[in-house]
Amino acid sequence: MKSKQSRLSVRSDYQEGFNLIEVMVALSILAFGILAIASMQESSLLGTSRAYNLTDGTTVAMDHMERLTSLAYTNSDLNHGTHGPSSEGRFNITWEVDEDSSNRIKTITVNVTWSDAGGAQKSTTLTTIKNRL
């Protein structure tokens, strides 16, 4: 029995818990981790916004391309040269038509531009060929 009492008395001599320096170091490490996660979150949101704008711009270009390819070969919007600009929301649309009359084809290039959240100019370009039927 004496050995149990001596063990208990030895344990009571030691201080239990954390001292102030240990707590400060742990909080510093935690704060550094939270700041790193917040930075990654900001980068993720910026990347998502850029991807959304690119998808939206490409969709606008595809819609405009489909409209142009559905027009008659002799339509004035398909005359040789640069056309536009026209706007659709925050997007500016221009298109260029090159005619190869010997092969009876027109090359149509649609370019859509917009400004991203940082003010930088972004664009997407689609090209197709329209045959004269």
What is the per-residue pLDDT across 88-112, written as a single tens digit (0 to 9) for each? 999 999 999 999 988 899 999 999 9
**DSSP SS3 for 36:** helix
Alpha-carbon gap, residue 33 to 42, rounded angstroms: 14
pTM (two decimals): 0.69
Give the DSSP H/E element, type plus range, for residue 81. Answer: strand 81-88
> Tell me, what's the pLDDT at 116?
85
Band (pLDDT 50/70/90 cuts) for residue 64 is very high
Q: What are phi and psi for residue 19, nearest 5 degrees?
A: -95, 170
